[in-house]
Amino acid sequence: MMNYKGYHGSVTFDDIAEIFHGEVQDLNDIVTFQGQSVEELKTAFRDSVDDYLNFCLERGEEPDKPYSGKFLLRLDPNLHRNLSLLSSEEGDSLNNWVSTRLKEVVYKKMANKSQ
């Protein structure tokens, strides 16, 4: 995984064309880059991110930003206590327990949508 200015890029190698193809991850917009060497690829990645940010600036749009994976959630104190007790009973941290439950709900909803 490549990182630049908070953006992450993934890379694949096309062994027929002998070129690296990359894409900036976690954006609604599509931002790609390519190179024939590692140095060329790194430069292309940075240039693509900079071009994307400049393009957004020129259009007066806020660029997409990758999510950090953190969000603040306000709960009723009793619910917080009960969640903490449940996670402890299952030998898990509150953070991991809640994250696991949220994943279960999201994946179930997404599976139902695709049917």
- Other CB atoms within a 10 A radius of the CB of residue 49 amount to 22
Cβ-based neighbour number of residue 78 at 10 Å? 8
3-state secondary structure the chain: CEEECCEEEEEEEECCCCEEEEEECCCCCCCEEEECCHHHHHHHHHHHHHHHHHHHHHHCCCCCCCCCCCCCCCCCHHHHHHHHHHHHHCCCCHHHHHHHHHHHHHHHHHHHHCC
Domain parsing of the chain, residue ranges:
2-59, 77-113
pLDDT digit string, tens, across residues 3-17: 999 999 999 999 999
pTM comes to 0.63
Is-contact 2 45, C-beta < 8 A?
yes
Residue 38: per-residue pLDDT: 93
User: Tens of pLDDT along 61-76?
Assistant: 999 987 777 888 999 9
